[in-house]
Amino acid sequence: MEMATLESVCTRISSGGTPSRKKAEYFESGVNGHLWVKSKELLDASISETEETITDEGLRNSSAKYFPKHSVLVAMYGANVGQLGWLKKPATVNQAICGLVLDETKADWRFVFYSLLQSRGDLTIQAQGAAQQNLNQDLVRKFKVLLPPLQMQRRKAGILSAYDELIENNQQRIHVLEQMAESIYREWFVKFKFPGRDKTKLVDSSLGQIPQGWEVKTVAKSFEICGGGTPSRDNSEYWKAGTIQWFSPSDLTAAGTMFMDDSSDHITAFGLAESSARIFPASSVMLTSRATIGAIAINSHEACTNQGFITCLPNERVPLHFLYYWLKDNVPTFQRMASGATFKEISRGVFKTIEFLQPSIKLVRRFESVIAPMTEQILMFQRQIQNLRRSRDLLLPRLLSGQLDIGES
């Protein structure tokens, strides 16, 4: 096997761009626009859909450019520097992404993707910048990967991709379940098309007409919230051998999952006591409240967060799944109410003043009984994905290095 620079096995290595946010006509709200990938959407997996799309005009008037399917994408800076993805269909990308178009006569795109996944640490250690880590196109071009003959690349990539196909199948199942649950929430609690609606009158309220018997309250009077804090990084006793889960916003944005089983950092009981971080119980709902506003996840175990969160605690009147989908549905409101010169933030004080529509407890309990089995399946599929990734990642270095012999034919 020989070491080869990425530029020697690619026909193109370049980044993209972002159309001006001041031009609403540059962005497409429907499904007819051009797929436009942002770096936060690189989750070491395939990409066939994007959060936003751009119009023909947006594409013409920006440095965004198309990459063909099977292009490998690398996040060049920010919290997820070094994160990877690959395109299942042609798409455009923003300026924080470096796209690699592989020469199929020299390298298998899947093998290059797995090689970068395995050597991510070697790549990101080259990232520079005081405020945030930054890669650049030249560093990516000069980065070297170990490449066996093309036929062997394809065989090894085929073995690894079998894991990813199973992962993708589970992700699709999760997506369907999430869409179903969100649709039911909106039908019942936004469009008021809930069971028994024909027998319920609509009455005036500060939120417009609402079903009779429902209440408009503030968040402060509906459920408890708590914030977080960061123990000093200068004191190792706050962090070394810590066992208490401590989430930062990048944990949620990198995972992009409904449930969080663990955090990337852990603190000690001493660190908890000596900071403004506060423990909250399992099955609370974490909402990122600054910079990236509106990443939401449910913690599977008791945990705490840094100061970039508002954590919401469910109760009998506002149970877990109703609270989770209310938060998801109101992210635009949180973003609109945020303020700040350096970065946008919605404070706990402002959050508490938001109007909250409280349906009847009977309907909320019925919603929970319908949604809970769906989210149990989501968590099951999510954990299967974690196990598959763990197995793939254990196999990855042995397979790519040649330590695991798969024969020549």
Assigned token pair, 101: 């178009």
- DSSP label at residue 206: B
The H helix count followed by the E strand count for the chain is 11, 24
The residue to which tokens 């090894």 are assigned: 156
Give me the chain's average pLDDT, please.
93
Q: Report pLDDT for 134.
A: 83
Please write the tens of the pLDDT for every residue from 255-309: 889 999 999 999 999 999 999 999 999 999 999 999 889 999 999 999 999 999 9
Can you list the positions of beta strands (E) in 210-249? 210-211, 215-218, 224-226, 244-247
Is CATH 3.30.300.10 correct for 2-147? Answer: no
Please write the tens of the pLDDT for every residue from 186-203: 999 999 999 999 999 999
Whether 405 shows a pLDDT value over 80: the answer reads: no
∠ Cα 382 390 172 (to 5°): 30
Looking at the structure, give the CATH architecture of the domain made up of residues 149-198+361-409: Orthogonal Bundle (1.10)
Q: Is the fold of 2-147 the same as that of 149-198+361-409?
A: no
Q: Report pLDDT for 140.
A: 94
Quote the CA–CA distance of 261 and 263 in Å, as a whole number. 7
What is the distance in angstroms between the CA of the first residue and the CA of the last residue of the chain? Answer: 16
Confidence band (pLDDT; 50, 70, 90) for 343? Answer: confident
Q: Specify the amino acid at residue 181.
A: A
Q: Report pLDDT for 403.
A: 82
Whether 372 shows a pLDDT value over 60: the answer reads: yes
CA dist 406 → 117, 166, 398 (Å): 20, 21, 11
Q: Report pLDDT for 384.
A: 97
Q: Report pLDDT for 129.
A: 62
Confidence band (pLDDT; 50, 70, 90) for 43? Answer: confident
pTM over 0.85: no
DSSP string, 114-160: HHHHHTHHHHHTT-B-SSS-B--HHHHHH-EEEE--HHHHHHHHHHH
Whether 409 shows a pLDDT value over 60: the answer reads: no
Residue 200's Cβ-side half-sphere holds a number of Cα atoms within 13 Å equal to: 18
Quote the CA–CA distance of 82 and 117 in Å, as a whole number. 9
The percent of residues above 90 in pLDDT, for the chain, comes to 85
The helix/strand/coil state of 408 is coil
The residue to which tokens 């992962």 are assigned: 167
Q: What is the mean predicted confidence (pLDDT) over 137-150?
A: 93
∠ Cα 321 324 327 (to 5°): 145
Q: What is the mean predicted confidence (pLDDT) over 236-254?
A: 95
To which CATH superfamily is domain 215-358 assigned? DNA methylase specificity domains (3.90.220.20)
The residue to which tokens 């405020």 are assigned: 131
Q: What is the mean predicted confidence (pLDDT) over 43-59?
A: 91
Quote the CA–CA distance of 292 and 340 in Å, as a whole number. 13
Q: Where are the domains of the chain?
A: 2-147, 149-198+361-409, 215-358
Q: What is the mean predicted confidence (pLDDT) over 44-65?
A: 92
Residue 275's Cβ-side half-sphere holds a number of Cα atoms within 13 Å equal to: 26
Please write the tens of the pLDDT for every residue from 147-159: 999 999 999 999 9
Please write the tens of the pLDDT for every residue from 78-104: 778 899 999 999 999 999 999 999 999
Whether 408 shows a pLDDT value over 60: the answer reads: no
